[in-house]
Amino acid sequence: MKENRLQKINEIWAIDPNRGIHGTERSVTFNELASSIVSLGPFYYYVIDFSDGSLKNHSDSFAQILGLDPQNSKFGDILEAIHPDDFELVGKLEAACGEFFFRHIAPEKLMRYKSSFNFRMRLKSGEYALFNHQALMLSLSDDGGYGTAINIHTRIDHLTETNNNRFSAIGLDGEPSFLNISLDADKNHLQFSNKEIEVIRNLSEGLDSSEIADKLFISPHTVKTHRRNILQKSGCKNVAQLIKMCVMQGLI
């Protein structure tokens, strides 16, 4: 089954060489990326080399959560740990992410985005739990395909046990973010402005409107306007519901 799953994912990841920029790498180091990870639940991360499926730079929690040997595990072992009922969904989400990036994100900006969606993974105990998956491309190969990427998996079953079967494209370095995108990427999706994302992240830290205004050098009235627009866009009834949604989508 492991080889079959790996083959299916590799077919999804097959990229037209004309889609991307060849031989590109991120300007920040892996250590800088790893130290910037903020999580609201147990998490692990690893870097995958798409050329051979090897894994490296595992977090210490990789073995603690999954029960896998970091030194002898390959990407096929990660795929094998996905819940049997979720693997087809993961394939569809990966394909939809790739198509969305191709249609809506300029090739030179691809490495300024991380993809995010949810699925269940098998724990060391043998039980399954819902995780939020975030992937950020670190490099592209010389032929324009995937090079290396950091994958971050955070347990979110303390927030919800229901998967919304949608994905998000989280913008970095000032790029806009797109949340709750349907598997049919042509349908409407939720987009926050850069300033709205700043407000959301400060709300998640417990700051009130006056404190956010001081921090962002804007008026309290402007912050309140952003808050009202954010809740209206997201369909959330209050800040607590908004923060929960954004955590599940990997925005914060």
pLDDT tens digits, residue range 150-192? 999 999 999 888 898 889 998 888 888 888 888 864 555 667 8
Please, what are the domains in the chain?
2-176 (3.30.450.20), 194-244 (1.10.10.10)
β-strand partners of 128:
122
Question: How many Cα atoms are found within 13 Å in the side-chain-facing hemisphere of 92?
Answer: 14
Q: Above 60 in pLDDT, residue 87? A: yes
pLDDT tens digits, residue range 35-51? 555 567 899 999 999 88
pLDDT tens digits, residue range 192-247? 888 888 899 899 888 999 999 999 999 999 999 999 999 888 888 888 888 877 87
Name the average pLDDT for the chain. 83
pTM (2 d.p.): 0.73
Query: How far is CA 50 from each of CA 147, 237, 251, rounded to the nearest angstrom?
Result: 6, 42, 25
